[in-house]
């Protein structure tokens, strides 16, 4: 198992070097997106309307942060169960989504799309959202504010600790 420090700008070029089980400290721009936001993003895609952020090379974090306490960039921000996004992920991966962050296993269809598109799926530690939030330097709601914690947010990560769960070669921690 290896240790990497990666910026999200380089996620697609870094993906081929990553193996399931590797540790990554991720920095750069990440977008939150959960069930409700995915539904709205897909409505926009189906209508041919502009999306809140460019999917190509982007990193999605399946999270719904708690309200931000005074003096902090964000509230608790742990991962949500990724399998709830499995119905959406293959299409986004086929649009060159760079990476996804969440927790738990993914469907065979998602795993195949990760490999097919040279992407990566990271797992963040569940239950440690308050600790994880210390690695998030800014948070801005960029779409669907009516969704509250499930709105799409633009986050800036700084050395956010992750584990490569599914790599672009088919390595999968959940199958080992």
Q: Are the CB atoms for 55 and 116 separated by under 8 Å?
A: no
Q: DSSP 3-state assignment of 82?
A: helix
Q: Of 138, 139, 142, nearest to 52 (Cα)?
A: 142
Neighbouring residues of 165: CB distance < 8 A, sequence distance ≥ 6: 20, 121, 122, 123, 172, 173, 174
Distance separating alpha carbons of residues 8 and 71, to the nearest angstrom: 26
CA distances from 148 to 8, 53, 64, 105, 155 (A): 25, 18, 9, 26, 15
Q: Where in 33-151 does DSSP place strands (E)?
A: 59-61, 99-102, 120-123, 136-143
Q: Is 38 a catalytic residue?
A: yes
Active-site hit among 38, 40, 103, 153: 38
Catalytically annotated residues: 38
């Amino acid at each position: 198992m290896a240790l990497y420090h990666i910026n999200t700008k380089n996620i697609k070029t870094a993906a081929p070097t990553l193996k399931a089980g590797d540790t990554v400290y991720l920095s750069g721009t990440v977008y939150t997106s959960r069930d409700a936001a995915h539904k709205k993003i897909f409505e926009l895609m189906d209508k041919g309307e502009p999306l809140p952020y460019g999917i190509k090379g982007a990193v999605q974090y399946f999270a719904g942060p708690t309200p931000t306490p005074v003096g902090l960039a964000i509230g608790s921000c742990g991962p949500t169960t990724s399998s709830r996004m499995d119905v959406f992920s293959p299409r986004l991966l086929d649009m060159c989504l760079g990476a996804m962050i969440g927790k738990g296993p993914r469907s065979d269809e998602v795993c195949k799309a990760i490999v097919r598109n040279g992407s990566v799926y990271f797992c963040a530690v569940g239950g440690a959202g308050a600790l994880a939030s210390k690695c998030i330097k800014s948070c801005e709601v960029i779409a669907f504010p009516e969704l509250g914690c499930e709105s799409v947010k633009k986050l800036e990560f700084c050395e956010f600790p992750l584990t490569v769960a599914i790599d672009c070669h088919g390595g999968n921690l959940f199958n080992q």
